[in-house]
Amino acid sequence: MPKRSRTHMCGELRKESRGQTVRLSGWVHKRRDHGGLIFIDLRDKTGITQLIFDPERGSTFHDIATKLRSEWVISIEGTVAERKEGMHNPNMATGAIEIEVTALEILSEAATPPFAIADDKTETSEELKLKYRYLDIRRGPLANNLALRSQVMMAIRRYLDEQQFLEITTPILSKSTPEGARDYLVPSRLYPGHFFALPQSPQIFKQLLMISGMDRYFQIAPCFRDEDMRADRQPEFHQVDIEMSFADPDTLMPLIEGLFKTILSDVKGITIPTPFRQMSHAEAMETYGTDRPDLRFGMELVRLDDIVKDSSFSLFADTIKEGGAVKALCVKGGATLSRREIEKYIPLVKSLGLGGLAWLKVGESDVTGPIAKFFKPDELAAMQKTLSAEPNDLLLFASGKESLINQALDHLRRHIAKERNLIDESRLEFVWVVDFPLFNFDNETQEMGSEHHPFTAPHPDDIDKLDTDPLSARSLAYDIVLNGYEIGGGSQRIHNQATQRKIFELLELTQEDIDEKFGFFVEALSYGTPPHLGIALGLDRLVMILCGAASIRDVIAFPKTARASDLMSEAPSPVMKHQISDLHLELHQDEK
């Protein structure tokens, strides 16, 4: 019986180790019986090593090896031997060697798994994989993602430690505050009718740490938001939370760029250029229709209001008169698409609120398409010039309310880029989006709200607008975007009491509202607050991009479904009646 302590992991041995006596442990990946010779692929998180049981070489464990099945856990001892000439496997790191087994112990037998673990390409439903997540991780790709995630976290900690940041943990049970999404609430047993909230972010606590004099703080913080799911969202996630005092965006941005430079160098061996490009929020919305633009391909949105406002195409002309807009994008080489293929784009833009889509094809000497007859030659020429259109290009037009145009053409632009293979998946395109609006306006409630949160500092050049036109005021907020994903966002915080009162006043918060929602924090601001700012980086989203994964579920060990449930543990679940009673809660009859 071999000792259970390993001398090596399954992915470590090479032909330089031949002749050594080693001990390995792991899972049976595959078993192959070749007329007396038995080969076992032994797997652990580092890789696979081939074992050989040869009765002619005196393997006394040959009979036991015949009983081994996939996913049984075993421990072996044996001698490293180089594989015979022509038997090397170049697709395996250990493909030049095998272990001639001299001792074997079965540590654990296994039931037949609900899906094949040894075959990564096995078609298995997402629900089944989530129910047996611990088995899905064994298959390899998820384990590799989790290993990369760990490397990213270690790189972050090393870098920020070198930059004199302190890692400080903040409370999980805290006060419910308005952060833009629903809170997960936790009822208090000791205070009937009162609730804790799980943090959507450590926002207030990290600002309190600046008031506390901690100067430079970070945390890889668990956060919770009760919101609808999508591919890059989960109800619980982790963010790299950073705050620093006596600094401004010109200090923070190079520091964060250095962080990404370190992560990509340490984890992927990639050198990225810095500084990153900066783009105003207004420019991003105008040119790409979104505040998280993907810069890996062209097809920018171009405004055509001045060119079409006097045209005989009444749809465009009337839209301009009514305060709307007309924008277009140029699909290079898109004139090869048939009318039927082009019109397949129309349901997409209609689903996003537009009435339809118009189009033109640019030829060698003319422009053709359903709307060509409505424009004069000089108007068509102006369109081509503005859109940098060349022969064989396709022009797609949208008209209406600008917010709807932006949303629809943003989706269409990305859809076409993917469809026509215009995206270089190996590229990493970072961009800072700056100068966000300070406020937004909800047309349904007819109320003004903070674009980010009420502690975001106004842009110093727009302070006067707080009295005259607050909705046009910019903020000192910034996002960092990578390949069309927002992977971080932050802002300069308000540390001036008069400015903070002005923001609360514009948000129509009464003193009672302020005391109820932010009382302890506002009081803390009165005790000497340094200028400070910060950012939160989405760890899960970043790792998803670096892994080339389709969803952040693929980089989280035990994620939730699209309906925020855990199929493996069957959470959320009912609890005992006495637990409900202890919390001074009462369920409705249908919930019982």
Beta strands in 13-172 (DSSP E): 21-34, 37-44, 47-53, 73-82, 97-108, 166-167
Assess whether 196 and 157 both reside in one domain: yes
φ, ψ at 342 (rounded to 5°): -65, -40
- 1-54 pLDDT tens trace: 566 689 999 999 999 999 999 999 999 999 998 878 999 999 999 999 999 998
Contact 24, 8 (CB under 8 A): yes
pLDDT tens-digit series, residues 340-368: 999 999 999 999 999 999 999 999 999 99
Whether residues 462 and 556 fall in one domain: yes
Please give the share of the chain, as a percent, with pLDDT higher than 90.
83
**Residue that is written with structure tokens 């449930």 in the block:** 565
The predicted structure's pLDDT at residue 120? 67
197: CB partners within 8 A, 6+ apart: 173, 174, 175, 176, 177, 183, 184, 185, 186
pLDDT digits (tens, 9 = 90+) for 92-128: 999 999 999 999 999 999 999 999 998 766 688 999 9
For the CA atoms of 235, 241, 243, 249, the dihedral, rounded to the nearest 10 degrees, stands at -90
Give the model's pLDDT for residue 591: 58
Taking a C-beta distance cutoff of 8 angstroms, is the pair 287, 413 a contact? no
Task: Give the domain extent around 263.
Answer: 144-269+431-577
Of 377, 400, 435, 431, whose CA–CA distance to 328 is shortest?
400
CB atoms within 10 A of CB 129: 20
Residue 546 lies in a domain: yes
Give residue 227's pLDDT: 83
Domain closes at, from 401, 423, 445: 423
Domain check: are 152 and 261 in the same one? yes
**Domain contains 22:** yes
pLDDT of residue 118: 85
Q: Is the pLDDT of residue 457 over 60?
A: yes
CATH code of 545's domain: 3.30.930.10
Per residue in 436-450, pLDDT (tens digit) is 999 998 888 888 999
Dihedral, CA of residue 523, residue 537, residue 248 and residue 454, to nearest 10: -40
Cβ atoms within 10 Å, residue 59:
22
Question: What Rg do the C-alpha atoms of the chain give, in angstroms?
Answer: 30
Q: How many distinct structural domains can be found in the chain?
A: 3
Last residue of a domain, one of 108, 131, 159: 108
Is residue 460 located within the same domain as residue 436?
Answer: yes
* pTM for the full predicted model: 0.92
E-strand spans in 375-526? 394-400, 430-434, 439-442, 447-450, 477-482, 485-492
Same structural domain, 524 and 396: no
Confirm whether 584 is domain-assigned: no
Say if residue 397 is in the same domain as residue 478: no
Q: Are residues 458 and 478 in the same domain?
A: yes
Residue 440 lies in a domain: yes
Question: How many Å apart are CA 331 and CA 198, to the nearest integer?
Answer: 46
Within this chain, do residues 94 and 34 fall inside the same structural domain, yes or no? yes
- The reply to whether 115 falls in a domain is no
Q: 288, 417 in Cβ contact below 8 A?
A: no
Q: What is the pLDDT of residue 513?
A: 86
Helical axes 141-162 vs 249-268, angle rounded to 10°: 140
**Is the residue at 7 inside a domain?**
no
With respect to residue 203, please indicate whether it lies within any of the assigned structural domains.
yes
421: left (phi over 0), alpha (psi -120 to 50) or beta: left
Domain match, 306 and 414 both = yes
Look at residue 591 and tell me if it is in a domain. Answer: no
Same domain (yes/no): 531, 401: no
Q: What is the CATH number of the domain that holds 21?
A: 2.40.50.140
Residues 438 and 393 placed together within one structural domain of the fold: no
Question: Are the CB atoms for 432 and 279 separated by under 8 Å?
Answer: yes
263 and 237 both lie in a single domain = yes
Cα(567)–Cα(570) distance, rounded to whole angstroms?
Answer: 5
Q: Is the pLDDT of residue 273 over 60?
A: yes
- pLDDT tens digits, 46-81: 999 999 998 877 667 778 898 999 999 999 999 999
Cα–Cα dist 268/566, whole Å: 32
Instruction: Supply the CATH number for residue 388's domain.
Output: 3.30.1360.30
11 and 44 in contact (C-beta within 8 Å)? yes
- For residue 590, pLDDT over 90 is answered with no
Confidence band for 263, pLDDT divided at 50, 70 and 90: very high
3-7, 311-315, 384-388, 433-437: least confident range: 3-7
Q: What is the mean pLDDT of residues 491-499?
A: 92
What is the secondary structure of 316-340 as a DSSP string? HHHHHHTT-EEEEEEETTGGGS-HH
pLDDT by residue (tens digit) across 152-186? 999 999 999 999 999 999 999 998 876 567 899 99
